[in-house]
């Protein structure tokens, strides 16, 4: 856009084109989150579950080896 000069004001000097919205599929969002290193809540819940399972089995192993 070309800025227009009137007597006391400039019109359009700070004009920014609106961003074009892009619709992603679920698979594309997952890939983009991996590239941007964003963790989704589902992967975080999965990670927490694996940590709890690991701690549980470590405790069971300690109790078995204690005897």
Q: Which pLDDT score, from 0 to 100, does residue 35 have?
A: 81
For the entire predicted model, the pTM comes to 0.38
Q: What is the model's pLDDT at position 23?
A: 86
Per-residue pLDDT of the chain (67 residues; tens, 9 = 90+): 555 666 666 666 676 677 888 788 888 887 888 788 776 667 777 888 899 999 999 999 999 988 6
> Largest alpha-carbon pair distance within the chain?
93
Q: What is the pLDDT of residue 5?
A: 64
Per-position b or e across 32-62, b if 16+ CB within 10 A of its CB: eeeeeeeeeeeeeeeeeeeeeeeeeeeeeee
- The Cα 23–Cα 42 span in angstroms is 21
What pLDDT does residue 51 have?
Answer: 92
**What residue numbers bound the domain in which 17 lies?**
4-66
Q: Looking at the 3D structure of the chain, how many domains does it have?
A: 1
């Amino acid at each position: 856009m070309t800025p227009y000069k009137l007597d006391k004001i400039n019109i359009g000097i700070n004009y920014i084109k609106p961003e074009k919205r892009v619709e992603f599929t679920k698979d594309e969002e997952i890939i983009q989150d991996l590239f941007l290193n964003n963790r989704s809540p589902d992967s975080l819940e999965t990670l927490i579950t694996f940590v709890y399972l690991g701690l549980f089995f470590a405790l069971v192993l300690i109790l078995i080896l204690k005897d």
